[in-house]
A and B are shown apart, each in its own frame.
Chain A
Amino acid sequence: MEQDEPIEDFGQFKTLVEATVLEANDRDIQHQQSLNKVRDSQSLVTKTPWLRHTRWEEIFIGKDMSELVKLLNAPGIQDHHERRIWDATGRVIHACFNGVVDCQERGWTLIPFWLRSVDRNKEDTKPFRTYFAPATLYRYASYWQQYILFSLRAMMGEESVQFTLKQRECLLELNTLLYEINVTDEANNNSKIEKKILELSVLLIQHSDYAKERSSLVYFTGVLGYNIEWKQWRQPSEYTTILAGIQFCTRVIMLEAALPRINRDGIDETSSENPVELFRKVRDKWLIDGEGIILLAKSLINQEHHLVIFIVC
C-alpha cells in the first residue's frame, strides 16, 4: 500500500482504527436507545391499518416511550406512599367486582346482562362474567392500579397527560390523604383512601370527548400499547387482552358508582326507581357504543372462538 499517511506506524494505526470502531459502536448504542422515541411515519406502507386506527404515532409523536412506560411501573418495596395507593386500588377493584356478584346474590339478575351490553337499548344475551381465574382478576386489577399510579405520577411532572380541574383536585386530595396518616386507625386511613380512589376512578372514566383536556384514560391505554421490551407497538392479538382488563375495571367501577353496595339494602319494590333503572342512568351514558365518551365503544365479538376484540375509539 502507499505509505503517504501522516501516521505510518502499524500499531498506532491499529489503535486509531480500534478507537474509530469503538466510537461507531457507541453510536450504535445511542441509536438503540433512541428507538423508543416516536417518529410519526406518514407512509401508508409502514402504517398498518392497526396503527392508523389507534393513531398512537400521532398521539405520542416526539415522546420517549421509555419515559412514559416508567410511569406505569409498580411501586418499589420502599415506596410506602405509592404502595398504599397500589394496594388500595386493588382492594377497590375487588370490592367493585364483588358488587357484581352481590347483584346476582340479591336476585338482580338483569343487571349483569345490562352491564355486559354495549347496545344503548338492549341488554346482552349473556351476563357479565362472575367467574374469573384468580390470576386473570389480579391482572385486570393491576391495569387499574397502574392507571391510578400513572395519573398521580403524571400530575406531578408529565405535561402531556391532561386532567380536568375536578380530576386534578381529586388527585391532589388523594395525594394529601397519603400524608395524613393516623397511626392509631389504619382501617380508617385505608377506607378514606379507597373512597378517594373510587371517586377519582369515576371522574377519570366520566371524561367527555368534548372536554378541552384529552382523556388520560385513552392516553394511558396508548402507553400500554407500547411494548418496551421489543421497543414496538403491540399487535391486536397482544393488546386486546389488556383492553379487556380495562373494560372489566371500568364496568365494575361504574356499577359501584351507579349502585353503591352500601345503598342497595334500601332499595325495594316501593322505591321510585328499580336497580336496573338506576344503573341504566349511568350505563347509558358512559358504558355504551355510540356515545361521545371515552373508549371501549366498539366491540366485535367472534362467537365461534369466544374472542372479544375491543377497539379503542
Chain B
Amino acid sequence: MNYGMIAKKNSTTRSRIRWSADNSILYFDGRALKMNEWKQFVEELISAAEELLSQRLLFREDGGLPEVDLKVIDDPSNHEAGHYFALDESDSWRKARLTLIQNLRGTKYWDRMVDLQGDGVNFLKAGVDEYEANDMKFRELLAILMMVTCGLSGRGTEMTSLRYINTMEGDRSMYVEDGQMMFITEYHKSMALMDEVKVSNDEILN
C-alpha cells in the first residue's frame, strides 16, 4: 500500500480538463461548458433564489429583499449552543415574527396558512408544509450558489454539513466577518482514517 501511495504521488494522470484557445469554453471529458452560459446560469440561480425568498418566504409583494446590515460584529468565541449572529440583537426573533405575520396578512397566502380563531392565530398544516417545502428549496438553491460562487468548493459531505448555529457537538460553520459571510468546514474524507480535523474556510462577498 505504501509503495502504491508513493508511486501515485510521483506519477501524473491524463488531463481531464482543458480550456479553449480564447478561454471562453471549458472542456471536461469531452463535454463543453461555455463561460457565458455558466455566468447566465449563476445569475438565473440568484434571481430564482431571491424571488423565492422574497415572495414565498418573506411574503413581500414588491419582490424585493429587506436591507441587511452585515456590519455586525459576530463573536466567533461565543460557543454557546443555540447561538448565532442573528441573536446578537435583542428581541430579533420577536421582531422578525411580527414582520412576517404583517407581510403575510396582506397576501393571497394568508388564507392558505392561517386560521384566525378567538383564542389565537392557528397555522394550517397544509400551508405550513408548503412553506417548509419552499424553505427547503431555497436552502438548496443557496447551497448551490455557495458552491459555485465561493471559490473552490468543498466535498459534498463538507458542504451539506454546514451549521448556522452552535450545537452541543461544536461551533457553527457560518460567521459574519468584516461585512462578509464566511463559512468554515471542518470535515474531510481523510478525517475518519487519520483522526485529524481538517479546517478550511470560504467567504461569500457581500
* Interface residues on chain A, size class: 35 or more
Taking chain B's interface residues, is the majority helix, strand, or loop, or is none over half, making it mixed? Answer: loop
Query: Chain A 1-35, CB within 8 Å of chain B: the 1/0 string?
Result: 11011110000010011111101110010011001
Query: Chain B 154-189, CB within 8 Å of chain A: the 1/0 string?
Result: 000100110100111111000000000000001100
The answer to whether B121 and A16 have CB atoms under 8 Å apart is yes
CA distance A53 to B82 in the complex (A): 24
Query: Chain B 114-150, CB within 8 Å of chain A: the 1/0 string?
Result: 0011101100000000000000000000000000000
The answer to the question of A46 belonging to the interface, with a C-beta cut-off of 8 Å to chain B, is: yes
Q: In the assembled complex, which residues on chain B have CB atoms less than 8 Å from the CB atom of A18?
A: 98
The answer to whether A49 and B168 have CB atoms under 8 Å apart is no
CA distance A20 to B117 in the complex (A): 12
Check A45/B94 contact, CB under 8 A, given A231-B81, A232-B81, A233-B169.
no
B9-17, B33-41, B63-71, B191-199 - interface stretch: B191-199
CA distance A134 to B134 in the complex (A): 60
Chain A's nearest CB lies how many Å from the CB of B169?
Answer: 5
Q: Taking beta carbons and an 8 Å cutoff, which residues of B are in contact with A? A: 79-82, 93-94, 97-98, 101, 105-106, 110-111, 116-118, 120-121, 157, 160-161, 163, 166-171, 186-187, 191-192, 195-197
The answer to the question of A41 belonging to the interface, with a C-beta cut-off of 8 Å to chain B, is: yes
Q: Taking beta carbons and an 8 Å cutoff, which residues of A are in contact with B? A: 1-2, 4-7, 13, 16-21, 23-25, 28, 31-32, 35, 38-39, 41, 43-51, 53, 57, 227, 229-233
- Enumerate the 6 nearest inter-chain pairs by beta-carbon distance, A residue then B residue, closest first: A231-B81, A45-B161, A20-B121, A49-B195, A230-B79, A5-B116
Chain A's nearest CB lies how many Å from the CB of B198?
Answer: 11
Chain A's nearest CB lies how many Å from the CB of B91?
Answer: 9
CA distance A28 to B94 in the complex (A): 10
The answer to whether B191 and A232 have CB atoms under 8 Å apart is no
The answer to whether A6 and B117 have CB atoms under 8 Å apart is yes
Contact of B81 among A16, A20, A35, A51 (CB under 8 A): A35
CA distance A53 to B187 in the complex (A): 16
The answer to whether B93 and A48 have CB atoms under 8 Å apart is no
CA distance A13 to B23 in the complex (A): 60
